Structure 1
Amino acid sequence: MTDDSTWETVERLKQWLDDNDGLALEMAPVMRLLKLQEEIGEAAQATMGALGANPRKGKSHTWEDAEAEVCDVILSGMVLLATLTPHAAKRFEERLGIIAERSLVANP
């Protein structure tokens, strides 16, 4: 579980983007979804690079690179959620509970 300071930082990052990205407010969710997709692509690229899966590039990344990119994916998702609702932390905890119930309790 995340603590309050994590979501406070996410909210500060969202507000910084709101104040500085030059987008109309209604475009923020779209652009932040696109940012999430960009970060997913970077995580995939780093994972492939750590595996040396592209013969032309070889081992172009480390597993630490992949870990950093996955963190960027998670953070981008959190900022997107905070953009969609002012109750992001609550919504996340509710969804985590639903998934845990469905996966861990129903199928021990």
Structure 2
Amino acid sequence: MEETWELVNSLAVKLDTHFDRSDELRWTVQALKLQEEAGEVAEAVIGALGANPRKGFSHDWDDVRKETCDVALSALVMLARMGGDPRRFFEEHLRSVAARDTKDSSTA
């Protein structure tokens, strides 16, 4: 997992060196990139289902997996670009969500 965060942080630094703007503008652009990637997941799902009659079966489920990885990576890079300790923030949030979901399911 350490290597993953090293790669995420290096991608964030690389992007920041190519886009010399205010923090808020860099974060906004990264949020737009995240949305773009989410759209590509939707496109791949439509293609895997053959739901677009003009394009037919243009994708498969491995394409959906790859696009989903792009969404996850874009989100982690955005978190890294926002500063602080992105790994700590993500792991604390993940534990919080897991605890909440465990609590919610035990009352059902």
Whether the TM-score (by the shorter chain) exceeds 0.5 is yes
Which residue matches 1:48? 46
Amino acid at match of 2:44: A
Please, what is the CA RMSD of the aligned residues? 1.2
SS at match of 1:107: helix
Q: Runs of at least 4 residues of structure 1 off by over 3 A?
A: none
Distance across 1 between alignment mates of 2:77 and 2:52: 32
Contact conserved, 1:40 with 1:70, CA < 8 A, in 2? yes
TM-score w.r.t. structure 1 length? Answer: 0.90
Unaligned ranges ≥5, structure 2: none
| 1:4-83 aligned within 5 A | 4-20=2-18, 22-26=19-23, 27-83=25-81
- The answer as to whether partners of 1:36 and 1:73 remain within 8 angstroms in 2 is yes
Match of 1:85 in 2: 83
Rounded Cα–Cα distance in structure 2 between residues aligned with 1:14 and 1:86: 12
In structure 2, how many angstroms separate the alpha carbons of the residues matched to 1:102 and 1:50?
33
The one-letter amino acid of 1:75's match is: L
- How far apart, in 1, do the equivalents of 2:8 and 2:65 lie? 19
Shift of 1:62: 1.0
Do structure 1's residue 99 and structure 2's residue 92 form an aligned pair?
A: no
1:62 & 1:54 partners in 2: Cα distance? 13
The alpha-carbon deviation at position 106 of structure 1 amounts to 3.9
Q: Distance in 2 between matches of 1:106 and 1:34?
A: 32
Q: Report the alpha carbon displacement of residue 50 of structure 1 after superposing the two structures with TM.
A: 0.4
The TM-score normalised by the length of structure 2 is: 0.90
Encode CA deviations 1:25-53: one digit per residue, 9 max, x unaligned: 32110100000000000011001100111
Percent identity, please: 44
